[in-house]
Chains A and B, each alone.
Chain A
């Protein structure tokens, strides 16, 4: 390995938005060069669609597009973790669990270059070194090195999470955690404001430029304050699902469900926008639960479902209409006393 850096490709998709700081530091500590795919763009999505099964959800099609982008960047390894479980008794969507299998047999040229740690932890701090041991041989590193790298990665990731909870949006929190920007450079979105909206959605939907279409900045621009699930404190979230007969068994979907109930219950929130991608299985059930609860709590709930054909003006119009509706409602209820 001397004098020659291994290039590890990390697709800018799915849990990149949640775990990139951790993985980035981990690989750099091990002496590898981290190559991240481009921002999601139309061409990348189109290429992803071509090699995907037509029915599969948009985030996976996008993921495939990112893998193809990394193929072009001729990396030595593709980092495709098999996300199994980060909470006892809970799993990930089947597509996350079968992701390396799916990629291996459907995208030419990656077969023998996949790094696939099986992530199976008791907490979402996924730094149990045993999960990563199957990468020791391909990377040519030892257990001690892996442990050490993970320790450092963990620190950075925890810092990243605390920034999220302090109200930083994920791209900003990543920059700060990885030392590319200082905290002072970033202007925190206002919270709370006169209209406050809970945005429900997976990180790879909300923060992906193609699926989320920059919805958070759009909200800021029309003077709306927002919260997303990763900005909320786990302690508060953890209480939300008590008393439910049965909760979902996908960790991130449960986080959304918790956040959803929190948005419904806390007075400060005026409404909920659910951003989801076409074909998302867990969201098809989650959305229904939220829709039924909307009536009970008397708060407006809107779903924005994005697929590969959706235009930006559609999103803009609907968001504006939703916000107008909330503003009008507030005025008719004697507005001033918010």
Chain B
């Protein structure tokens, strides 16, 4: 089976899992202007931005020969749970022939999950599948650890761009991993690469830290969030996101008894402002702001797709949160109309603001 998937974040991971199960994987190209244009053309006008970008990605994948699309599902109340159905209907209407496998949360219903799983499993033995999943699971955690490190180091790199190059190199290394032994080797190599990056020493009191929160797709996919991490890093700011694949997997795909996800704690922290889970990541967004504040972060960048239902609720509360917690927040809503120059100017101004705030506090 020629399999493809939506492009989001560290795609080498999805690729790896499908490859290990013996499928031919077609990685869709990184979302570009062309992807967005394609997506916008065929998606419902008022659908949210991720739906449009993924639509474009699917079209590009199907054009390069994909036969099966694998994606995650959901049960609402955020629109993302219905993406797959809309994508299927629109793409079929365009005349594409394909199969779509939707993984709904394992923590919700087992049978649906199992059906999709069986299709992907193919002729592999169950042991092979478990081994593959285990390997990929460890890989996710390792990659996320490396990425977090990159996001910290980038603020202080001596040679501009070195961290980004290192991160690309690490992903390439992991792309060649097919066994536990190779994973071990890759981890070591990645650590060496990261250790060799030259950084400026910075006084603890001058370190600026910004948390990036918001809707998962725009937070995780650099090509549609103006590479916000790089932008902030180049301005000398350490960043950390609210969303990492490893945490998503721990929260959604592994029974909580085993994974004890960090997200449960975050949800608890969000309760102060949003009482129940209202879909998407709105409560997590709010919870992470509290969490980042407690850990001494200096500012928050809140990303959302234009007119995202749950994030609009968190955006409405944002002024009050910012006031109560005394932490500056900037909300950027992204869609196909986003002007990069405009947003960059706002981010620069925001960084200046938190820099001054910090200077005043430490003085």
Contacts and interface: CB of A to CB of B under 8 A. Distances in A.
Same complex origin of A and B: yes
Interface of A: 52-53, 55-57, 82, 84, 89-95, 97-98, 100-102, 105-106, 118, 245-246, 248-250, 279-285, 287-289, 292
Nearest to A101: B274
Contact of A245 (B85, B310, B316, B319): B85
Nearest to A283: B46
Interface stretch (B74-82, B191-199, B338-346): B74-82
Given A55-B306, A246-B82, A281-B307, A289 B77 contact: no
A84 B45 CA distance: 27
B211 to A, nearest CB: 20
Given A55-B307, A105-B320, 9 more contacts: A52-B316, A56-B307, A94-B279, A94-B309, A98-B313, A248-B76, A248-B82, A281-B48, A289-B86
A64 B177 CA distance: 55
B302 to A, nearest CB: 12
Interface in B74-96: 75-79, 81-82, 84-86, 88-90, 93
A32 B93 CA distance: 55
A279 B77 contact: no
Interface string B246-275: 000000000000000000000000000111
A93 B316 contact: no
A58 B347 CA distance: 29
B275 A105 contact: no
B315 A53 contact: yes
Nearest to B280: A94
B282 interface: yes
B310 A284 contact: no
A100 B319 CA distance: 16
A94 B89 contact: no
Interface residues of B, number: 41
B310 A55 contact: no
B343 to A, nearest CB: 15
A288 B274 CA distance: 31
Given A94-B78, A94-B278, A101-B273, A55 B89 contact: no
A288 B316 contact: no
A103 to B, nearest CB: 9
A35 B205 CA distance: 55
A118 B276 CA distance: 10
Contact of A285 (B73, B86, B88, B307): B86
Nearest to B275: A101
Contacts of B82: 246, 248-249, 285
B333 A55 contact: yes
B44 interface: yes
Contacts of A279: 46, 307
A222 B152 CA distance: 67
A97 B79 contact: no
B317 interface: yes
B235 interface: no
A284 B51 CA distance: 11
A281 B304 CA distance: 14
Nearest to B109: A89
B275 A91 contact: no
B120 to A, nearest CB: 18
B276 A82 contact: yes
B330 interface: no
B274 A98 contact: yes
10 contacts: A84-B276, A94-B77, A94-B309, A95-B313, A98-B276, A98-B313, A101-B313, A281-B46, A282-B79, A288-B90
Contact of A102 (B46, B47, B89, B316): B316
Closest 3 pairs between A and B when the two form their complex, measured CB to CB: A249-B76, A284-B46, A98-B313
B231 interface: no
